[in-house]
Amino acid sequence: MKFWFKYISIGLIAALVYLLLWSDAPVSFELRQWLANRLVFSVQPQPTLEPKIDSVLQASYADEIAQTAAAVVSIQTVFNKGTLSKNPNPTSLDDQYLVNVGLNVGSGVIIDSRGYVVTNYHVIHNADSIKVQLSDGRQKIASVIGSDPNTDLALLFIDLENLPTPRTNEQRQVRAGDIVFAIGNPYGQFDQTVTMGIVSATRSVRTDFPIYQIDAAIHPGNSGGALINAYGELIGITAQQLATRNESAAQTGIGFSIPYPVVKSIVDDLMDDGKISRAWVGFRGGILNERGHQAFAPPQSNFGEGIAVTSVEAGGPAATAGLEPGDFITHINDILITSPNQAFEIISNAKPGDSMNFTLFRQKEEMHLSLTVSEAPRVRQ
């Protein structure tokens, strides 16, 4: 009896081990679950945490874009109107000459509800006639109030009522990495087209004014359109896109926009008397990254304060005063500088003949320079 009990027990144990470890039979799964519930502490599944609302990527910016898009207009210009040339292949006596009419297309932004429209200078340069079409379909021949080739800006006037204007917020700082949207009229056929990108960099070019480098596509016909931020606020006027010989402009991902503070300053001057008398000091500068700030800025300067001089124009006021590339400017007229835009605003508010005082650091040694503001040289038209 003991013999049979021993072998029966061994057989049952072997069968149990088989059921627990190797068998795929349903009874095996039930047995494993039964043992797990009694021999192993159960672990309650952790609840899935929902992401915070402000960390979720916004799915649409349609409402923000709509706040400014209505103020973006299409512009068509006619130049060389009425120029005649001999027809090489006339078909009749009435077909001896051809009338040459040049056309150009661009975009613009209604900057003032009284009828003022800002666009690029190169869009309306040499135009005999300028037609503006609003987003609601209204059309009007525009007159030129004035232009500034230096900044590639021009101010037009249209005699219409109930004009929409864009949202603006000069207190909001524009930084590399900000989401932006370009709104315009590419190729003169696709009005109210929106392209998306980011601010790639903020730079200083030519005569002391900053510019935004962006990667949003700017096609022919977009020039003069609006650049807005993710809040629907106008932050600049699109100017141009860099293109190489074998690439279209939109392929490079390098476009430029004139910052709104520059636009506002030029527009205000042109509204005054149609002319620009711009203060000029003759240097270019920009903000530094954290490593650059540590290399050039004094120890007491916080990151984000001050601008570095990148170049100085020969014969200009800055060069005459002794400013050099590599100098780190912390104050202009005792005002702490925190961005190229702020430096531009201070300089643009001065008049030719005014004195300006600079506090700067050269190789981390404090220096003070004074210079006399000149009138900005004009770009040949």
288 and 253 within one domain: no
190 and 104 within one domain: no
321 and 289 within one domain: yes
Residue whose pair of structure tokens reads 């990108």 in the numeric block? 197
3-state secondary structure the chain: CHHHHHHHHHHHHHHHHHHHHCCCCHHHHHHHHHHHHHHCCCCCCCCCCCCCHHHCCCCCCHHHHHHHHCCEEEEEEEEEEEEEEECCCCCCHHHCEEEEEEEEEEEEEEEECCCEEEEEHHHHCCCCEEEEECCCCCEEECEEEEEECCCCEEEEECCCCCCCCCECCCCCCCCCCCEEEEEECHHHCCCCEEEEEEEEEEEEECCCEEEEEECCCCCCCCCCCEEEECCCEEEEEEEEECCCCCCCHHHHCCEEEEEHHHHHHHHHHHHHHCCCCCEECCEEEECCCHHHHHHHCCCCCCCCCCEEEEEECCCCHHHHHCCCCCCEEEEECCEECCCHHHHHHHHHCCCCCCEEEEEEEECCEEEEEEEECEECCCCCC
pLDDT at 48: 47
With a pLDDT cut of 70, the percent of the chain lying above it is 73
In a domain, 239, yes or no: yes
145 and 75 within one domain: yes
Backbone angles phi, psi at 239, to 5 degrees: -115, -55
**Among all residues, which ones are annotated catalytic?**
122, 152, 223
pLDDT at 66: 92
pLDDT in tens, 314-343: 999 999 999 999 999 999 999 999 887 788
334 and 305 within one domain: yes
197 and 111 within one domain: no
User: Domain containing 359 — which CATH number?
Assistant: 2.30.42.10
User: Domain containing 191 — which CATH number?
Assistant: 2.40.10.10
252 and 302 within one domain: no
pLDDT at 245: 52
pLDDT in tens, 203-255: 765 445 778 999 998 888 889 999 999 999 999 999 876 655 555 544 567 88
pLDDT in tens, 73-89: 999 988 766 555 666 66
CA 74 to chain centre: 20
Per mean pLDDT, which range of 44-53, 142-151, 195-204, 289-298 is the poorest? 44-53
210 and 286 within one domain: no
What lies within 8 Å, CB to CB, of 140 at 6+ separation is 131, 132, 158, 159, 160
147 and 106 within one domain: yes
Nearest to 301 by CA among 310, 292, 309: 292
pTM for the full model? 0.66
Nearest to 113 by CA among 160, 77, 69: 160
Per mean pLDDT, which range of 48-57, 301-310, 330-339 is the poorest? 48-57
In a domain, 256, yes or no: yes
Residue 371, domain extent: 279-375
Of the residues 243, 272, 301, which one is the last residue of a structural domain?
A: 272
In a domain, 241, yes or no: yes
In a domain, 40, yes or no: no
301 and 228 within one domain: no
In a domain, 199, yes or no: yes
pLDDT in tens, 98-148: 555 567 889 999 999 999 999 999 999 888 889 999 999 999 999 999 998
pLDDT in tens, 158-170: 999 999 999 999 8
**How many distinct structural domains can be found in the chain?**
4
Mean pLDDT of 270-278: 80
